[in-house]
Amino acid sequence: MSALTQLKRHLRPGQVYRRKDLARWSNAVDRHLRQLVDEGRLEKVSAGVYMTPRRTRFGAAPAKTEKLVETFLGDDRFLLVSPSAFNSLGVGTTQLHNEPVVYNRKRHGRFKLDGRMYDFRMRSGVPRRLSREVLLVDLLHNLDRLPEDKETVLPRALAKAGEMDRSLLARAVKDFGSARAERLLAHILQTA
């Protein structure tokens, strides 16, 4: 069996691979990757990252965002946040955003993956899941980046913080917060 045939046998529809992961099944990985991309069996989604297209009746389906980001980072410790999620807090934000933010421990900057831009931001602490408390702390941290009037949003956000579970909010500030969020929430957390 040829190395290219062996490599093809390991490809699964919808999966995302790093070049180094595919190298173990190929004796000429760059040449084989180029052939597979030309055949349409692989798509290059970023430098050194490839996806096996998953066919649906509507055409090729994109890779799952979480799998794409995990493969790009080579790490599953990240938090994917859409700034549009701030709208769910009910503090006056209404904008829709196309560029998800990926909090992680490895990469910083804007990267295009599978035709979509992602804003990667390094943080020393990254929560496993997005809670309302973490989302509020993130909103306070990013207040200056939002297109809304911060003079309107800030008092509403602080009022919303006062309604939240203080212990969960304190944990979100400790694990994920910035000095700014900690300062803004200090008077609320002290009353706990």
Ordered domains of the chain (ranges, CATH)? 3-61 (1.10.10), 65-190 (no CATH)
What's the pLDDT score for residue 98?
Answer: 83
| Helix/strand/coil (H/E/C) assignment for every residue in the chain | CCHHHHHHHCCCCCCEEEHHHHHCCCCCHHHHHHHHHHHCCCEEEECCEEECCEEECCEEECCCHHHHHHHHHCCCCEEEECHHHHHHHCCCCCCCCCCCEEEECCCCEEEEECCEEEEEEECCCCCCCCCHHHHHHHHHHCHHHCCCCHHHHHHHHHHHHHHCCHHHHHHHHHHHCCHHHHHHHHHHHHCC
Residue type, 52: T
Report the pLDDT averaged over residues 112-118: 91
More confident residue, 178 or 192: 178
User: In the structure, what pLDDT confidence band is assigned to residue 167 with cuts at 50, 70 and 90?
Assistant: very high
Q: What's the rounded Cα separation, in Å, for the pair 188 and 34? A: 57
Return the pLDDT at 192: 52
Token pair belonging to 113: 């993956």
In the predicted model, is pLDDT for residue 1 greater than 70? no
Query: What confidence tens digit (pLDDT) does each residue in 131-143 have?
Result: 999 999 999 998 8
Burial class (CB in 10 A: 0-12, 13-18, 19+), 24: exposed
The residue among 66, 146, 156 whose CA lies nearest residue 114 is 66
Q: Which residue has the higher pLDDT, 62 or 40?
A: 40
Q: What angle do CA 72, 124, 84 make, to 5 degrees?
A: 65
